Amino acid sequence: MDVRLVRSVVREALREDVGEGDITTFFCISPRRKTKAVIFVKQPGVLCGIEVAREVFRVVDAQLKFRILKKDGHTMKKGDHIAYVSGRAGSILTAERVALNFLSLLSGVSSYTRQFVNQLKGTKAKIMDTRKTTPTLRALEKYAVRVGGGHNHRFGLWDAILIKDNHLRVSDIIKKKKFDEENFAKIVTMIRKNTKYKIEVEVENLNEYKKIIRHYPDIILLDNFTLANLRKAVVMRDASYPAVFLEASGGVTLHNARRIAQTGVDFISSGSITHSPQSTDFSLEIDE
């Protein structure tokens, strides 16, 4: 992760939570009071965000000592101690919630991603995220996907070309509900002349797929295809267009991910691994 980005996100989170000051701690805790605390997990999962949590405590009080016990990617069981923190009691209490929030969110993403990874074992398919992320937290959530063993799709609109259904319609490639292959060929040719980015194209049915694969895009995204049609797409690709990668997307769940992978696609993308995971439950307790 980019250290500068982490610090920026942490500072913004603290501004949101602390505001002009932690008034409860101000009235209840002596600034001279020192203590120790332990952070532990209350359910099994895959740890992610421990360095972010440390940064939260550092920004609140650089004198706090933060000892990491488990690193990102570690498989946790209920009750595992994750870190110790010691120093001014008021500082620990002020930083607590923001640090735990980052741990909960990111570990939730990494844990859910790991479940998908486990479902795909023994197949060649790789699980990928999408742009369905929390605004301003994309880099952290995509980092959590990698920690869980998944792979990142494009980070934003700036680093990869993905021609989707609405691009096709607005570009007049689809006219009167029929795909205009000649116009599509012109656009692909124009893109290849002007950039070195790989070209990915989304298709919604086998008819579009058959016409588009003839122009050798780098990747074809098969959106909401049935398992039967995914298998047909793979057979056609393997027979005549082996250099084209196939990505399945739409309606992907833990229950059907393995069946999708067994069709022979190369990638499976799911927005759910960043927008729908259950947060992992962590707690901080004073431990004197």
Q: Rounded to whole angstroms, how far apart are CA atoms 74 and 54?
A: 16
Active-site residue among 34, 132, 211, 232? 132
Q: Is the distance from CB of 57 to CB of 66 less than 8 angstroms?
A: yes
**70 carries an active-site annotation:** no
Q: Is the distance from CB of 128 to CB of 153 less than 8 angstroms?
A: yes
Q: How far apart are the first and last CA of the chain?
A: 33
Which has the closest alpha carbon to 218: 238, 239, 192, 240?
192
Active-site residue among 7, 97, 138, 210? 97
CA torsion sign for 152, 156, 159, 165 is positive
**36 carries an active-site annotation:** no
Q: Is the distance from CB of 245 to CB of 265 less than 8 angstroms?
A: no
**193 carries an active-site annotation:** no
**202 carries an active-site annotation:** yes
Instruction: For Cα atoms 49, 55, 57, give the angle at the middle one, nearest 5 degrees.
Output: 110
Active-site residue among 55, 129, 200, 202? 202
Active-site residue among 72, 129, 208, 223? 223
**232 carries an active-site annotation:** no
Residues catalogued as catalytic: 97, 132, 164, 202, 223
